[in-house]
Amino acid sequence: MSDIDILTGSTERHLTDLHSGQAEGAMLVHQDIVVPLTELQQNAAASGFDLRLCSGFRSFDRQLHIWNAKLSGLRPVVDDRGALINLDLLSPWQQIQAVMRWSALPGASRHHWGTDIDIYDRAAMPADYQLQLIPAEVEGQGMFAPMHDWLDEKLADQGFYRPYGTDTGGVAPERWHISYRPLAQTFAQGLTAEVLEQRLQGTELLLLDVVLDHLDEILQRYIQVD
Ligand SMILES: [Zn+2]
């Protein structure tokens, strides 16, 4: 299989299961981030944090399911404050931007690469708490804010960074999303409009024509964020 399969989440051959042998479910990540990630977790542990993953690799098909569910009203689409958005009041391109605030276009998710993960501090989480991944958990007095404040200083030591750390008008700020830069920046460069168009053509993606009309802007605002 070609590199386009890795870039667009269409293969698992670059991945390894971080939770192999553990009771919890599989957690697939790129095999080359295991060493730096383990180092980061060990450093976090030495400072009292239990840095865990709640999301690693996500496939093209999974992302396609989420995309179509949101655009067809089967899943809620919300604004920055968590309020429900009525898609009927928006143009097709506005609908796409509303979805992309929180959900990537299939083929263009950084989670396809296995280099990007969503994390939390299990040591700070009550046993009966349902993890949500919302700003209130990671900012201010949020339960995971101390670990993220620590990460602000330490993240780069192992080669990680936050691609969505600040709001540039594309994806909402996601402090819980970190990326292994040496690999991710190579993938980001490889994911061109041509690659994306080739992968999306012929799929069941809702609003495909509108997406194809805006591919360059989508890449610039939502993927090439560094
Ligand atoms: Zn993420």
**From the CA of 131, how far away is ligand 1's center (Å)?**
14
Q: Is the pTM value of this prediction over 0.85?
A: yes
Q: Say if residues 143 and 149 touch (Cβ distance below 8 Å).
A: no
**From the CA of 206, how far away is ligand 1's center (Å)?**
22
Does the pLDDT value for residue 10 go beyond 90?
Answer: yes
What DSSP designation does 179 have?
A: E
Q: Say if residues 39 and 158 touch (Cβ distance below 8 Å).
A: yes
Question: How does pLDDT run across 17-43, given as a tens digit for each residue?
Answer: 999 888 888 999 999 999 999 999 999
Residues 48, 34, 19: CA angle, nearest 5 degrees: 75
Does the pLDDT value for residue 1 go beyond 50?
Answer: no
Hey, what are 89's tokens?
Answer: 């009041």
pLDDT score for 71: 97
SS3 at position 17: strand
pLDDT score for 2: 53
Does the pLDDT value for residue 125 go beyond 60?
Answer: yes
**From the CA of 175, how far away is ligand 1's center (Å)?**
9
Question: Cα–Cα distances in Å, from 171 out to 55, 56, 159, 164, 219?
Answer: 17, 18, 22, 7, 11
Backbone angles phi, psi at 16, to 5 degrees: -140, 155
Q: How many Cβ atoms from other residues are within 10 Å of residue 129's Cβ?
A: 11
Question: How does pLDDT run across 182-206, given as a tens digit for each residue?
Answer: 999 999 999 999 999 999 999 999 9
96 pLDDT band, cuts 50/70/90, is: very high
Question: Cα–Cα distances in Å, from 89 out to 79, 85, 86, 93?
Answer: 14, 9, 6, 12
Domains and CATH numbers, the chain: 3-223 (3.30.1380.10)
Q: Say if residues 4 and 198 touch (Cβ distance below 8 Å).
A: yes
Question: Cα–Cα distances in Å, from 147 out to 29, 38, 126, 151?
Answer: 21, 16, 15, 6
Residue identified by tokens 């276009």 is 105
| Distance from C-alpha of 4 to C-alpha of 190, rounded to nearest angstrom | 8
**From the CA of 59, how far away is ligand 1's center (Å)?**
13
**From the CA of 116, how far away is ligand 1's center (Å)?**
7
Chain centroid to Cα 155, Å, comes to 17
Question: Cα–Cα distances in Å, from 74 out to 79, 106, 157?
Answer: 16, 17, 42
Question: Cα–Cα distances in Å, from 1 out to 8, 13, 110?
Answer: 12, 9, 19
- For residues 13 and 102, the model is more confident at 13
224 pLDDT band, cuts 50/70/90, is: low
**From the CA of 50, how far away is ligand 1's center (Å)?**
18
